[in-house]
Amino acid sequence: MKYEIRSNVENGILKRNRNLLIDAIKSFEGQNVIVTIEKAKKKRSNPQNSFWHGVVVVIIQNCLKDAGHVMTKEQTHELLKLRFLKETILANDNGEYIERIKSTTELTTTEFMELIMEVQKFAIEYFNTEIPNPNEEIILDL
């Protein structure tokens, strides 16, 4: 079981949800636990997600089709994740690493915009195709 409890800290004290934290700790009575505290980050927004799937993925999908690679939107999405969201992480104390593909749901709003900018550069470089910025009006020739 995992809990995510959000609060703000003022003068070294949790200002909200203290009782939720205490209850969560009690639920692990007699067990070893890991307590992680990190700064809250704003996750990617629904409009960003809509732009990604409705514009970015569709444009790349059409570019791939024009290059002879017919792919579904989901396959195109997975291909872009493989290209841009692959990360190498330490697997064990022996210094061995493994690769994993991050999900777009893990990205903050800033990280998501950085992803879009990277794919925009990729589209120009590899397909000579411009992907618009969010809220920019374009006419697609599909």
| Same domain assignment for residues 76 and 100 | yes
Same domain, 35 and 51: no
Strands 13-14 and 9-10: antiparallel
Which residues, in sequence order, are CB contacts of 18 under 8 Å at separation 6+?
Answer: 7
pLDDT band with cut points at 50, 70 and 90 for residue 25: confident
Structure confidence at residue 64 as a pLDDT band (50, 70, 90): very high
Q: Does residue 12 share a domain with residue 80?
A: no
Q: Report the alpha-carbon distance of residue 53 to residue 47 in Å, rounded.
A: 10
**Domain of residue 1, residue span:** 1-40
Residue 6 lies in a domain: yes
Whether 140 is covered by a domain: the verdict is no
Q: Among all chains, which residue has been given the structure tokens 């009690």?
A: 26
Q: Are 122 and 65 members of one domain?
A: yes
Shared domain check, 78 and 16: no
Tokens standing for 43? 């996750």
Q: Decide if 4 contacts 30 (C-beta within 8 A).
A: no
Q: Measure the CA–CA gap between 18 and 21, rounded to whole angstroms.
A: 5
Claim to verify: residue 76 and residue 123 sit in the same structural domain: yes
Q: In total, how many domains does the chain have?
A: 2
pLDDT of res. 75: 98
Q: Give the model's pLDDT for residue 139.
A: 62
Are 54 and 30 contained in the same domain? no
Q: Are residues 21 and 63 in the same domain?
A: no
User: Residue 141: is its pLDDT beyond 70?
Assistant: no
- The verdict on residue 139 lying in a domain is no
In 3D space, the residue among 59, 93, 100, 99 whose CA is nearest the CA of residue 76 turns out to be 59
SS3 of residue 5 by DSSP: coil
Pair 56, 118 in one domain: yes
Q: Are residues 116 and 50 in the same domain?
A: yes
